[in-house]
Structure 1
Amino acid sequence: MGRQPDRRDPRTGSVISYRHHVVSLVAVFLALAVGVALGGGPLSELGRDDRPAAATTGQQRAAVRDASYGDDFASASAAALYDRRLRDHPVSILTMPGTPGDVVSALGAQIEDAGGHVAGTYDLQPALTDPAEKSLVDTLGSQLMTQLGSGAVAADAPTYVRIGQLVGLAVAESDLPSADATSVRQSLAGAELLSSPDGAVRAPIVLVVLGKTTNPAILSGLLSGLAAKATGVVVAGDAAAATGSGDLAALRSESVADQVATVDGADTTLGQVTTVLALIRSTSVQGGSFGASGSDGAVPVP
C-alpha cells in the first residue's frame, strides 16, 4: 500500500501525517467505546457486558506505552545520535519568564551528554517582555547603544530588536570586548531586565527556552536581534507552545523563523534530545522547525 499524503490542520496550518490522522481516529473510537461501555452511547439498550471495558483498558495501556516509547528511545539512543558533536561548542541558555527549572536542568544535562557545556544560564526578567515597560526598555537600549559606540547595535533598529541585539552582546560570543559585554550585563541587571550567574561567560550558540506566553511582536523582535549577534539560536518550547496561539506557533509564522531553529516538546526527553540535535545543526545551518509539529521534520539531521 502506498504512502498516504500529508494533510494540513486548517486551524494551525501544521502538517498532519497519515499516522497522526489514524491516531486521532483511534482516539475518537476509544471515546465512543467508553460511552457505550458506560451506557451513554447509542447501543446502551442492547445490554452491557465487561468485554468492551476490558478491551478499552488494554488499548489505553497500549497508548500509554506508545507515549513513553519515544522518550525511552531518545534516552537510549541520545549518545549515539550526538556522537559528541557539541565538543568545543559552549552554549548559553537564555530563559524566558516562567520557564520551568526542571526543563532547563534537563536540557543542560543533554548538552553535556553531547560533549558541550553550558557557559551560562541567563534569565530574562518579566519587565523586559512587559508591554507596559516598553519606555524603560527603549530608554535603556538607546543609552547602551550610545555608550557602546557606532556599529555595536543597529542605529535604526526598533525597540525590541535593539534590546535583543544588546542581550545578544551580553550572552553570545562576538567581537565586543569582554569588559563591554560585562558592562551591558550589569546595566541590564540594574534595570531588572536580565539576570546572570557569577562567572558566566558568553558562547556562540544560544538556546532560548520559552516559558509563559510572550507578546508575539516582542518575542519576534528579541529573537531577531539576538540572532544578529549569535552564531546559532535554537528556541525550544513545550508541546502547547506549538499549537493555537502558542509562542512557537506564532513564531513559526514570522520571518525570524528563517534565522532561528524552533523545537517543540521540550518538556519531554524526546523533545530535549531533538533540541540538542538542533543545537548541533545550528553551528553551520540556521532556521528550521522541528518536533511533533515541526514543518521540517520530527528530528533535525546535523
Structure 2
Amino acid sequence: MIRHRSYAVPLTAVLLALATGVALGAGPLTDTGSSASPGPRVVTESPDATYTDAFAATVAGRLYDHGLSRRPVALVTMPGADPATVAALTSQVKAAGGQLTATYAIQSQLVDAGQKSLVDTLGIQLAQQVKGQTDPKATTYPRIGQLVAIAVANRGSAGAPAGDDAAAVRQSLVAAKLLSVPTGNPQTAPLVLVVLGSPLDQAIADGVVTGLGARSRGVVAVAPTKDPNLVGLAADGVTRYVTTVDGSETSAGRVAAVLGLVRAWSTRGGAFGASGADGAVPLG
C-alpha cells in the first residue's frame, strides 16, 4: 500500500498521461509563447517515447513503495517471449522488493497443438502420480497448467521448498522437453508472472494460464499492447482469476505489470494496461 497518498495520485496521473500520449494542459510544461502571441500554440507531436520510458522508470520505486517486499515471485516465459522484456521485468520485480525465485521457460512442444497427444498423455500420468493435486475434471491444457503450477508455485504466503510432487513434475516435464527448469532446485513462489510471446491457439493460452492461476496465490500475465492472446484471455473470462497487463514493450507497461503483482497478493483478476478494460494501472 502506498503510504504517501499526496504523491500517489498526481504521480499516477502524470504517468498515465505520458504513457498514453496525452498532451498535458496549460501549466509549467506548456510552451505558450509570449502574452502578445495571436493565439494558443497547437501541440501536434506526442511526448517523446524515450522521456516517457525514463519517467516511468524513475517514478516506479515510489509507486511500488516496496509492495513486493520479501514476497517470492516465479517468472514463467512462453515461447517467443522477448528476452529484453523478461530482463526489464526481472529488474522491476526486484525494484519493488520482490524475491525472484527462478525463471522457467515453457517449451514450444507444450503449447503446440500438434503435440496435444503428448501433453494429454503425460498430463494424465502426472495427475495420477500427484493424486489430489489437480482438478480431476480438468482437460488437457488446464491440467498441464496446473502441473506447471505445482512445479513453480504455491498458494501460501511465502516461498516453499520444492517437495516430492514438485520435484517429480519438474523432472517429467523437463524430460519431455515441455518445461525448462533452472538448476539448484529453486523454491516455489506464491506469485507468478507470465510473459507471453508468440501467438498461441487461444484455447491453449486460456488453459495453461487458467491452470497456473488455480494452483498459485496470484498470477499476472503480461504481453505487448493489444496482444491477441491477452485480449482473448479477457474475452474468455480468464481475467476473473488471473490479472492481465498489456503494454510490456514500454516502461509504463512493465511498471503496471509489477503493480499488478502487488495487487494480486490480495486481489485476483482484472484486465489492465494500455488497452485494459479495468484501467491502465492496477492500483489498490
Q: TM-score range by the shorter chain?
A: 0.7 to 0.9
In 1, Cα distance between equivalents of 2:194 and 2:250: 16
- Give 2:192's aligned residue: 206
Aligned-pair Cα RMSD in Å: 2.3
Q: Letter of the 2:218 partner, please give it.
A: G
User: For 1:91, what is the secondary structure of its paired residue?
Assistant: strand
Distance 1:179 1:97, change over 3 A: same
When the two structures are superposed, what TM-score results if normalisation uses the length of structure 1?
0.76
In 1, Cα distance between equivalents of 2:195 and 2:114: 23
Q: Letter of the 1:277 partner, please give it.
A: L
CA contact (8 A) 1:174 1:230 kept: yes
1:162 matched to 2:148? The reply is no
- Give 2:201's aligned residue: 215
CA contact (8 A) 1:108 1:117 kept: no
- Give 1:282's aligned residue: 264
1:187 matched to 2:168? The reply is no
In 2, Cα distance between equivalents of 1:169 and 1:22: 43
Could you list the per-position Cα deviations for residues 221-279 of structure 1 after superposition, in whole angstroms to 9, with x for gaps in the alignment?
111111110000000001141xxxx1111111012110101101111111111100000
User: 1:88 offset after TM fit, Å?
Assistant: 1.6
Could you list the per-position Cα deviations for residues 120-141 of structure 1 after superposition, in whole angstroms to 9, with x for gaps in the alignment?
1000000000011000000000
User: 1:72 offset after TM fit, Å?
Assistant: 2.5
Superposed, 1:216-231 pairs within 5 Å as 216-231=202-217
- For structure 2, list consecutive stretches of 5 or more residues without a partner in the other structure: 1-16, 24-40
User: For 2:69, what is the secondary structure of its paired residue?
Assistant: coil
Moved over 6 A (4+): 20-23
In 2, Cα distance between equivalents of 1:239 and 1:290: 11
User: 1:21 offset after TM fit, Å?
Assistant: 11
Distance 1:89 1:268, change over 3 A: same
- Give the alignment partner of residue 46 of structure 2, picking from 50, 63, 71: 63
| Higher-helix-fraction structure | 1
Identity %: 45
User: For 2:133, what is the secondary structure of its paired residue?
Assistant: coil
CA contact (8 A) 2:21 2:46 kept: no
User: 1:22 offset after TM fit, Å?
Assistant: 8.8
- For structure 1, list consecutive stretches of 5 or more residues without a partner in the other structure: 1-16, 24-54
When the two structures are superposed, what TM-score results if normalisation uses the length of structure 2?
0.81
User: 1:293 offset after TM fit, Å?
Assistant: 0.2
- Give 1:86's aligned residue: 68
User: For 1:120, what is the secondary structure of its paired residue?
Assistant: strand
In 2, Cα distance between equivalents of 1:292 and 1:157: 32
CA contact (8 A) 1:232 1:260 kept: yes
- Give 1:255's aligned residue: 237
- Give the alignment partner of residue 99 of structure 1, picking from 59, 67, 81: 81
User: 1:80 offset after TM fit, Å?
Assistant: 0.6
In 1, Cα distance between equivalents of 2:274 and 2:114: 34
User: For 2:46, what is the secondary structure of its paired residue?
Assistant: helix
1:233 matched to 2:219? The reply is yes
Could you list the per-position Cα deviations for residues 82-107 of structure 1 after superposition, in whole angstroms to 9, with x for gaps in the alignment?
11110121100000000011110110
User: For 2:98, what is the secondary structure of its paired residue?
Assistant: coil
Distance 1:153 1:273, change over 3 A: same
